[in-house]
Amino acid sequence: MQYDVVKNWFKDDFSELDPLLQKLHLSGGELSGNINIYYGKGIAGLIGKRLAKKMKLPNQGEHKLLVSISHSPKGLHWNRKFNDNNIVKSLFVPFGNNKNGYWVETTGPVQMKLTVDIINGGWFWRCLKVSLFGLPIPLFFVPKSKAYKIIENGKYIFNVSFTYPLLGSLVSYKGILDAKYNE
């Protein structure tokens, strides 16, 4: 069943997304392929490994990833399966629209208030607020995140990375995935 959760949130700006991102967020589907996970060096790597464990990411290296994207009246569902066993479920609930609103991503006890910037047809998440067990965490304590999805040559390319000032890269994962759209 089709829900226009994403289209309604973006309003007229939905047409600025790459047509394949529009299709994925109108009908849902699956993304699959190999990703690479990297950890920082030294203390940054130790912190990255702890963060990755909380995010249920596998060890550094190449891994299979299957992402199931669906929509419901509740919001946008992203279920990530690493190597056919580590499952990370996220629910993104929209509030308002892209001009005055945000999304709330809930993954376990962590909630992130996010907005989206459209850059050259790509979807770039920007973190506005983070809470743990309902308690707000000042953003200067939270690792900086960079998360985006773009289309190049018909392939879905994504990157998720976490860094911390003075320490550098903590953990990142990225890859090129093939899309299978729901009809």
Mean pLDDT (the chain, rounded): 91
Question: How far is Cα 172 from Cα 179, in angstroms, rounded to an integer?
Answer: 21
Total structural domains in the chain? 1
How far, in whole angstroms, is CA 9 from its chain's centroid? 17
Q: How many CA atoms lie within 13 A of 183 on its CB side?
A: 0
% of the chain with per-residue pLDDT over 90: 71
CA 147 to chain centre: 6
> The domain that contains 166 carries what CATH number?
2.40.128.20
Helix (H) or strand (E) holding 46, with range, is helix 42-54
Cα 64 to Cα 61: distance, rounded to the nearest angstrom: 10
Q: What are phi and psi of 166, to 5 degrees?
A: 70, -25
The domain in which residue 68 lies consists of 5-181
- 171-181 tens-digit pLDDT: 999 999 999 98
Cβ–Cβ under 8 Å, residues 78 and 70: no
Residue 42, number of CB atoms within 10 A of its CB: 9
- Per-residue pLDDT of 11-66, as tens digits, reads 999 999 999 999 999 889 999 999 999 999 999 999 989 888 888 888 999 999 99
Q: Note if the pTM is more than 0.85.
A: yes
